[in-house]
Amino acid sequence: MNANVSVIVPVYNGATYLAEAIESVLAQTMRPLEIVVVDDGSTDESGEIAQRFELVRYVRQENAGISAARNRGIKAAQGDVLALLDADDVWLPDKLRLQIAALEQADMPAYVFGHIQEFVTPELPPDVRARIHCEPEPMAGALPSALLATRDAFFRVGGFANELRAGEFADWVLRANEAGLQKIMLPDVVARRRIHSSNNGIRQRQNFNAYAHVIKNSLDRRRAAGQD
């Protein structure tokens, strides 16, 4: 597969970490076609930072949430393979190479995940760091920054649910499972997930009801389709 990879980076007031995220894409052993940075109405220097880098296509929209930003990036992307990266995470250098190799397997998976390693962002004061839980071991990463998918997979599953403010990625993965898309989980660590006091991961862990709603919707769809 001579894959042209578009990397989609949604950002909202992410100037503190955005440059490091983009640099981790530019450091890949397999160079992507483009980096589509979707600025979701930032009021900080995120836009200026994004436009300093080669390969970046900068798209700005009024603030509409991370789902809308990802969907805008998918629509704008020119590649036949799409990868997501949250603006506060970073990739390991072989991320794209390993996942493209997995897509080339004979069973033709539609999307690939890898493992992630969490880390507490180093600039936090010690008392704040002490209150943040960080998994010490790599984890199977069904998370945006660990995903690589064919363009066809996104169009078969559909975009991210704009109405969801938490659990939107879990909702997409459940819909992909319902659609019967073939997937692979690599044993390799492909991304590092930054844990800090205000990132989406922490907010989502506090929003159990949103995840319960996403799971219930999936079960309801499966029952209606006769899958259970």
Class of domain 5-224: alpha beta
In angstroms, the CA 57 to CA 74 distance is 12
pLDDT score for 202 = 47
What residues contact residue 101 under an 8 Å CB cut-off, 6+ apart? none
pLDDT score for 77 = 97
The tens-digit pLDDT sequence of the chain (228 residues) is 557 999 999 999 999 999 999 999 999 999 999 999 999 999 999 999 999 999 999 999 999 999 999 999 999 999 999 999 999 999 999 999 999 999 988 678 999 999 999 999 988 888 888 888 888 899 998 999 999 999 999 999 999 999 887 889 999 999 999 999 999 999 999 999 999 866 544 444 556 677 676 777 767 676 777 766
pTM for the model = 0.89
pLDDT score for 198 = 65
pLDDT score for 3 = 74
What residues contact residue 150 under an 8 Å CB cut-off, 6+ apart? 80, 81, 82, 103, 110, 111
Helices (H), 40-109: 46-50, 66-76, 95-103
Phi and psi at residue 68, to the nearest 5° = -65, -35
Paired tokens of 14:
């992410």
What are the structural domain ranges in the chain? 5-224
- Neighbouring C-beta atoms of residue 19, cutoff 10 Å: 17
Give the strand pairing for 90-91 and 5-11.
unpaired
